Amino acid sequence: MDIGLNRALMDIYGSMYEKEGSRHWWPAENDFEMIVGAILTQFVSWKNVTTAIENLKRENLLSIEGICSANIEILEELIRCTRFYKQKAKKLKVFCLHVESRYRGSLDKMFENDLYDLRRELLSLYGIGKETADCIILYAARKPIFVVDAYTRRVFGRLGYFKEDESYDNMQRFFMDNLEHDTELFNEYHAQIDGVGSKYCLGKSPLCPECPLSKICKI
Ligand code: SF4
């Protein structure tokens, strides 16, 4: 670990936390709902994800057994508002059938795997990419892996740490190499970055005067 970078990263974290407080991320009632949200949230606003989750709840399908037994066309209809709904319905089905067949439907059993074994397993499933897998590992399995995303690239790019096209792996390594591996810290840090990225560090017109990072930002 680079002590200077660790201090800088913790200062950035402290500035964000001081302004926003805990973000209580991930917004879900249980681990399975968290996973469904992580699968549905790609390329769509969170508002649409919550609508889809409410639809699944209303039909008593928000469970591993529920998704496994659901008719695929009905599932597609219930999550239609999340875009790419056919692929997403298939992703939900594949994930749930996998947990059902290998772990008798128990997420707890699945989460007993070592962090990197679990990551390999998740990445082997249809439609689960690095960001989704890492969200599941951090927020549902509660194991310390740092989640990065487009907000991380933009905010830390403007802070002077990343190139515009910095890869997922490079960004993740940067945080993992220079922060203590602590699940609570990684949980809140990612949530804080997404808070700054969505509220202040907007694509075309960032709201720098209000941003908690304005004093240290390179822009
Ligand atoms: S000061 Fe401006 S450019 Fe820098 S992180 Fe904040 S919003 Fe983004």
Q: Is the pLDDT of residue 105 over 80?
A: yes
What is the best residue among 164, 210, 214, 216 to mutate for testing ligand 1's pocket, by most ligand atoms within 8 Å of CB?
A: 214
How many domains are contained in the chain? 2
**Which residue has its alpha carbon closest to ligand 1 atom 5?**
155
From 140, 156, 182, the end of a domain falls on 140
Average pLDDT over the chain, rounded to whole?
A: 95
Mark whether 92 and 108 lie in a shared domain: yes
Residues 98 and 60 in one domain: yes
Flag whether 77 is in a domain: yes
For residue 162, the CA-to-ligand 1 centroid distance in Å is: 14
Do 136 and 35 share a structural domain?
A: yes
Residues 112 and 158 in one domain: no
Assess contact for 195 and 16: CB atoms under 8 A: yes
Give dist(CA 116, CA 161) in Å, integer: 26
| Residue-number span of the structural domain to which 167 is assigned | 3-24+146-210
Ligand 1 pocket mutation, candidates 158, 215, 218, criterion most atoms within 8 A of CB: 158
Residue 120 lies in a domain: yes
How confident is the model at residue 219, as a pLDDT? 74
Distance 136 CA to ligand 1 centre (A): 28
Question: So what's the ipTM on this one?
Answer: 0.98
Q: What is the structure's pLDDT at 43?
A: 87
Whether the pLDDT of residue 218 is over 80: the answer is no
Do both 188 and 170 map to the same domain? yes
Best mutation site among 211, 216, 218 for ligand 1 pocket (most ligand atoms within 8 Å of CB): 211
Mean pLDDT over 97-118 rounds to: 97
Would you place residue 88 in the very low, low, confident or very high pLDDT band (cuts 50, 70, 90)? very high
Is residue 90's pLDDT more than 80? yes
Q: How many C-beta atoms surround the C-beta of residue 157 within 10 A?
A: 18
Is residue 219 a part of any domain in this protein?
Answer: no
Measure the CA–CA gap between 107 and 31, rounded to whole angstroms.
8
Please identify which residue in the block is written with the tokens 């970078």: 5
pLDDT over 90 (residue 214): yes
Shared-domain flag, residues 17 and 48: no
Per-residue confidence (pLDDT) for residue 1, from 0 to 100: 87
Residues whose CB falls within 8 Å of the CB of residue 61, separated by 6 or more in sequence, listed in order? 67, 70, 75, 78
151-191, pLDDT tens digit by residue? 999 999 999 999 989 999 999 999 999 999 999 999 999 99
* 27: pLDDT strictly greater than 90: no
User: What's the sign of the alpha-carbon dihedral 120, 125, 129, 135?
Assistant: negative
* Whether residue 20 has pLDDT greater than 90: no
